[in-house]
Amino acid sequence: MSAAHEARLKLKGTDMKYMLLIHTRESDYAEMSKAEGEKRTGAYMAYAQAMQKAGVIRAGDRLKPVSTASTVRVSNGKTKVLDGPYAETKEQLGGYFIIEVPDLDEALSWAAKCPGASHGAIEVRPIWEM
């Protein structure tokens, strides 16, 4: 995002909210040992605690597997509900954090510290509040 674009989104003197979308392969969790799963969960808990200590976290949760998802579309006035996610991808949205920080650089810094960055990808998106 350009500095000019970020400046338009940001109110003078306020921090911006960003959503850190955690994309990982669900199959990795099914294949890991209990000890590996506990280690990964511990890493996420430590990460969330660090964000809480820094005062930047506003929300965050894990998502249930994509097998529990539903996709809704409305076409020509008719609602269609599909089981599962819309797109088949290697990585699935597994969770998110909402943080409030001064700028994109700070959001990117927090994203790089997320455990998911080492085994997936963290998408950083500014929140456009309504």
- 106-125 pLDDT tens trace: 999 999 999 999 999 999 99
* Cβ atoms within 10 Å, residue 22: 25
In the chain, % of residues over pLDDT 70: 86
Q: What angle do CA 90, 32, 91 make, to 5 degrees?
A: 15
Write the pLDDT tens digit of every residue in 44-99: 999 999 999 999 999 999 999 888 999 898 999 999 998 877 666 778 899 999 99
- Please compute, for residue 122, the number of CA atoms within 13 A of its CA located in the half-sphere on the CB side: 21
Cα–Cα distance between 80 and 73 in angstroms, integer?
Answer: 5
77: left (phi over 0), alpha (psi -120 to 50) or beta: left
pTM: 0.83
Asked if the model's pLDDT at residue 130 lies above 70, the reply is: yes
Cα–Cα distance between 43 and 114 in angstroms, integer?
Answer: 9
* Cβ atoms within 10 Å, residue 32: 14
**CB 102 within 8 Å of CB 3:** no
The DSSP symbol for 91 reads S
Which pLDDT value is given to residue 87? 64
- Provide the residue count of the chain: 130
Residues 25-52 have a mean pLDDT of 93
Which pLDDT value is given to residue 7? 54
Q: What are phi and psi of 127, to 5 degrees?
A: -90, 130
Confidence of residue 3 (pLDDT cuts 50, 70, 90): low
